[in-house]
Chains A and B, each alone.
Chain A
Amino acid sequence: GAVVSQHPSRVICKSGTSVKIECRSLDFQATTMFWYRQFPKQSLMLMATSNEGSKATYEQGVEKDKFLINHASLTLSTLTVTSAHPEDSSFYICSARKVAVLNYNEQFFGPGTRLTVL
C-alpha cells in the first residue's frame, strides 16, 4: 500500500498564531515529501520539497521563514505556518514519494489540511 496521512484535517486559528501540520507515510518510508497549497478553483502549487535529514528546498516566492518545514524521520514531515494571516487560508496538501522497484517515483497525497485564518 501507499497511505499518507495528514493531521489536522481542518484548523481555524486567529491571525498571528502559528499552525503546525503533520504529514506521515504510514506504510512506506519517504525520503522525500512535498508540500503543496491549493486555493479554491486553482491548481496545485508546489511550495517546497522536504528531504529527510536536510533542509527543505523552497520554490521561488515561498518564504522559508514563514513556512517552516522539518523532515525529522523517514515517515514524518511537518509544515508550520508562522504568524498566520487571512491570506494564508488555503488547502495544504502533502505528498510522499514512494520509490518503487524500478525507481519509478510515484507521489501519494495526504488528504489535505484546510486552514482558515480569522
Chain B
Amino acid sequence: QKEVEQNSGPLSVPEGAIASLNCTYSDRGSQSFFWYRQYSGKSPELIMFIYSNGDKEDGRFTAQLNKASQYVSLLIRDSQPSDSATYLCAVNSPVDSSYKLIFGSGTRLLVRP
C-alpha cells in the first residue's frame, strides 16, 4: 500500500463547476498536509496546507481534512481552464525529524471551456 494515494485521473470538469480532488494516507501519525499544483514542465507550487480536522478556505480553494478516516481533499470552486494541471497531495513524514514530505503521484485535472 502506497503511503499517499491519489487517483491519477484525468478528472474532467466543465468550466465553472466544482472540482473535487481526494487523497488518502496510511500513517495516522501524519500531522501536516499540503496541496501543490504542478503545470506541465514546471515545478510544484504550494496552494494550501491544513493541520486541523475540518475545512480551510482560501479564495476558490477549500482543503478538507478528516484524520479519523485518513483523507484530505481539495475543492476548487468555479473551475477555470487555467486550473488544468496536476495536483499533488503531500503529507509530512512522522517517522523522523527530517521534515520530509511524502507525495502522492498526483491527480490530473482538466477543466473544459
A residues lining the B interface (CB < 8 Å):
32, 34, 42-44, 46, 49, 57, 91, 93, 97, 104-112
Q: Given that A43-B106, A104-B32, A104-B51 are contacting pairs, would A109 and B100 also be in contact in the complex, using a CB cutoff of 8 Å?
A: no
Q: Which residue of B lies closest to A107 (CB)?
A: B101
Complex: A110 Cα to B46 Cα, angstroms: 11
Q: Which residue of A lies closest to B44 (CB)?
A: A109
Complex: A46 Cα to B41 Cα, angstroms: 18
Number of A-B residue pairs with CB-CB distance less than 8 Å in the complex they form: 49
A93-B43 in contact (CB<8A) = yes
Give me the 3 closest cross-chain CB pairs, A-B, nearest first: A112-B43, A43-B105, A109-B43
A57-B98 in contact (CB<8A) = yes
B residues lining the A interface (CB < 8 Å):
32, 34, 36, 41-46, 49, 51, 88, 90, 92, 98-101, 103-106
A49-B43 in contact (CB<8A) = no
Complex: A111 Cα to B38 Cα, angstroms: 11
B46-A105 in contact (CB<8A) = no
B101-A110 in contact (CB<8A) = no
B42-A106 in contact (CB<8A) = no
Pick the residue among B34, B98, B103, B105 that contacts A106 (CB under 8 A): B34
Complex: A104 Cα to B49 Cα, angstroms: 9
